[in-house]
Structure 1
Amino acid sequence: MTRGTIKTWYLVHKWTSLICTAFLLMLCVTGLPLIFQDEIDGWLNPPAPMATLPAGTPSLSLDAILKRAAAPAPGDMPLYISFDDDRPIVYVTTGATADVAPAAMHFLAFDARTGATMPPYVPGVMAFILEAPYRHAARLLGGNLPGRDGPAVLRGDRLGRRSLRAVHGQARLRHAAARSQ
């Protein structure tokens, strides 16, 4: 090998490795918060303190918790009930009718052991980071990801591919119209 060949390969290797390093750095910076999302969320948005009870304290019945959920909004009916995976918290969603709009629903959290009302969940920075890729894809595709088809487009489902083709076709039409003006 000549000196020029070695120098050329040295430059090719140097610049390709720098480009790859930039992508790896981006993966590390964006991936680490997702791996440690529970720890980061607990640090930035600490959970509300709960009453300290002896071990083995039984939980209240769900009927008792539902009665407490109905008290703040008389006439509302329970729509959903869910449970926290990490803490003894029961989430109850109530509304005037079964098909009420989400804006008119009432979301309540209760300590499953005592029935005490817990403060509402406030999404922290990690909720934003987890939602950011979806929002980025929506902007990238021209903001045309409908709520029903958006996740399908990102997953690559059949319906999503059709929607993606429709979005691409609309973008081509907008581009052609802009060029003709």
Structure 2
Amino acid sequence: MNPQGSASLKAELLGAIPSLRAFAMSLSGNIDRADDLVQETLVKAWSNLGSFTEGTNMSAWLFTILRNIFYSEYRKRRREVADPEGQIAARLASAPSQNSHMDFLDFQDALQQLSPDQREALILVGASGMSYEEAADICGCAVGTMKSRVNRARNRLGQLLAMASEDGADGDTAWNPAEPAMDKLLRAGE
């Protein structure tokens, strides 16, 4: 690897950090764990930079590494009792006056209720803007499977958010699916 190529690879690695962090946050649901996942991904990528082929998709390579780290840890921890970090504290906190913040919390909660495969598919295609083909390559599945996962995730997320808006029907404004960020995920792949 020449010094010029090395500098461009470093720049690509650094440029991918915000997307990696968002993806890690969507998988883990915990900002501290997301930061750890991104750090582990970058360390692993840096130590294996020699195996990366310049000119190929750096983001896809990094997303695959992050995904593999997450699922390896998930398999190790699935027999452990889940620690509901922050969930109890969120219930004890006083409710903010801004409806959009509460809507986002409902959305975040609903997103975490999706299965990991569905959540991953929705984030890759809907939030990260990847094509079905790129997302299928990252997840190691067929394009049709990816389309199905996105569709099921979108439908399930809509159901969960509809239930959340019915639960909170105390005179406050219900969740508005026309809000851009949430709507983008719900319409992923259309």
> Do these two structures clear the TM 0.5 threshold for a shared fold by scoring above it?
no
Which structure has more relative contact order (CA 8 Å, sep 6+)? It is 2
Q: Which has the higher strand share?
A: 1
The alignment's TM-score, normalised by the length of structure 1, stands at 0.24
CA radius of gyration, larger in: 1
TM-score by length of 2: 0.23
